[in-house]
Structure 1
Amino acid sequence: MNAIQPSDPSLKPQDPRRVARKRSKRRRHPYRATAIHTTVKLVVNLLLLVTAGSAIAKLLPYYLSQQQKLHEIQAEVQSAEERIERLRADFNRYFDPQQAKSVMQEQSNRFEPGQRPLILQK
């Protein structure tokens, strides 16, 4: 009666077979956490890849239209530069004092007194 009895039955040593079973379950799937982690990474990366691909697919037509507009504008700038160069050359010619006489003759039908008009006929 005076003997000390254990107050909690869970403090009894566990059956060695149960301990062995728990260890064997752990040994069956030692890389399970790593496999799950890698699978989640792959799924997330695939989703990012699909999202990026769809974004690029949506932006590609816009990019192509902008490139076409850029080429049109560059062609217009080129033609405007050619026109400006031609006008600048004409401006320099019209206001050159050495060529003033020939410009006046081109723009009017007057000739110098000693010059004869040349008329071409078939």
Structure 2
Amino acid sequence: MSALRKPLENPTAPSERPLPRRRVAPQGQRQPKPKNQYQGVAVETGLKVIVNGVLSVAAIATLANLFPYYWSQQSKLQELRTQVRSTEKEVAELQSNFNRSFDPTQAGSVMQEQSGRLAPNQRRVVLTNQNP
């Protein structure tokens, strides 16, 4: 049975595929380091800080200009609310008078108030001062 087996490959024998070769950078062609390699990043960061500072100052100035406008609008709103309350009271009075005018049970008294006439079964009473 051992004759029927395939012979094992020799692990030390070279394989059929060649191994890829590593590239080695030549030592003499390195680029010289700049004097300050972070100078570009520092300039960019500085510009960002300056631009953000200018934008912040502009935003604060705009807000400072908006506050007086806001306060004036609030005072106008307060005046309007006061006027609305007084107008609502007036409307409520007029509504009650309107309802009273069209109430059939009070129609006689309303006509008497508006015309000055008395009902036939009533007499006018006039008070006079007896002491001169």
TM-score tier, shorter chain, comes to 0.5 to 0.7
Matched, 1:90 2:92: no
Matched, 1:113 2:118: no
How high is the TM-score relative to the length of structure 2? 0.61
Structure 1 CA distance, aligned partners of 2:123 and 2:105? Answer: 18
Could you report, residue by residue, the CA deviation over 1:66-115 in whole angstroms, capped at 9, with x for unpaired residues?
Answer: 11101101210121122111101101101211111233455547366278
Q: Structure 1: where are the runs of 5+ without partners?
A: 1-15
Match of 1:64 among 44, 57, 71: 71
Match of 2:83 among 76, 84, 100: 76
Structure 1 CA distance, aligned partners of 2:95 and 2:106? Answer: 15
Name the SS of the counterpart of 1:34 in structure 2. Answer: helix
Q: Partner residue of 2:46?
A: 39
Q: Structure 2: where are the runs of 5+ without partners?
A: 1-27, 128-132
User: How well do the aligned residues superpose, as a CA RMSD in angstroms?
Assistant: 2.9
How high is the TM-score relative to the length of structure 1? 0.65
Higher share of residues assigned helix: 1
Letter in 2 for 1:38: T
Aligned residue-pair number = 99
Structure 2 CA distance, aligned partners of 1:48 and 1:89? Answer: 60
Structure having the higher Rg: 2
Letter in 2 for 1:98: T
